[in-house]
Amino acid sequence: MKDIYSENVQRFISSADASPKTKKNPFATMQMLWKTAHAWGYVAHDAVSDVVLPKRQRSAQRFFSVEEIQRILEAAPEPYFTFYWIAAETGMRAGELCGLRMSDFDLGRRLVRVNRSVWRGKSQSTKSEHRDRCFALSPLLCAHLTEYFAQWKPNESGWLFATRLGTPWDQNLVVKRKLYPLLDSLGIERGGLHAFRHANITMMDRLGVPLKLRQQRVGHSEGSLTLDVYTHVVSEDDVLFAERLGGILRPNAPKKENGSGLEHPKPLYLN
């Protein structure tokens, strides 16, 4: 190791036929090795601190337009209709959507609580700095959820969207088996569940929602107190945005929708 210098490491990283993200992995390993070697007295010089890693090129994020979301909601059968509507109106992450339980909703106050995420069937904490956040839902969505809950198929853990075995949905299966085929049938460019989240954030920007409220709803804020469960005093801006967004996503919905928004409700589980 005493014969290795920054030039050697830089040449290795630069010549590797891999993506910028992949190149960071061997470099991170080299950093750990060098730290240990230095601590044990094998080397006295630093061969890693001056290495320049390639920057990761960010591709444009796919997001659904308002018109696309409206078409998706019109065509989606239950329970995916409800799933996509919550995704578009709340901007939740895919894992947070799959991690919703019945107990997370207070329809009387028109609130939803987000405090967990599901990845490959296992519940875990969310990525947000707000480990527990709560925000307003539109009157239209709450009216629909009231009917949806009435036909909801109970499961042991109370998952809002559960498989036949009572386990929470797998976000990847929802996208591959349900969302992609639906988009293809509608002639809409493919996008994952994150496209609903990006659409939500975009609509907040277009509607002039205050930055603080945007951060609260999507879980990007820092240094704020954790929200109490259903005791959070929802701001007027939050309620106003939820009402306006509900009207945008479902402009032709009657004041009180039927349970599924469709003529023939389907069983509430993932095939």
Residue pLDDT, tens place only, 160-185: 999 999 999 999 999 999 999 999 99
Residue 237: pLDDT over 90: no
User: In the chain, how many domains are there?
Assistant: 2
Residue 55 and residue 7: Cα distance in Å, rounded? Answer: 18
Residue ranges of alpha helices (H) inside 4-104 are 6-15, 20-39, 66-75, 80-90, 94-98
Q: pLDDT confidence of 126, banded at 50, 70, 90? A: low
**CB of 175 within 8 A of CB of 128?**
no
- For residue 44, CA distances in Å to 36, 37, 40, 139 come to 11, 9, 10, 66
Q: 175 and 53, same structural domain?
A: no
Residue 255 pLDDT class (50, 70, 90 cuts) = low
CATH number at residue 161: 1.10.443.10
Judgement on whether residues 210 and 190 belong to the same structural domain of the protein: yes
SS3 71: helix
Q: Which of 229, 233, 239 is nearest to 113 (CA)?
A: 229
- In a shared domain, residues 179 and 222: yes
Domain region containing 233: 66-249
Q: Are residues 100 and 168 in the same domain?
A: yes
- Say yes or no: 16 and 122 in one domain: no
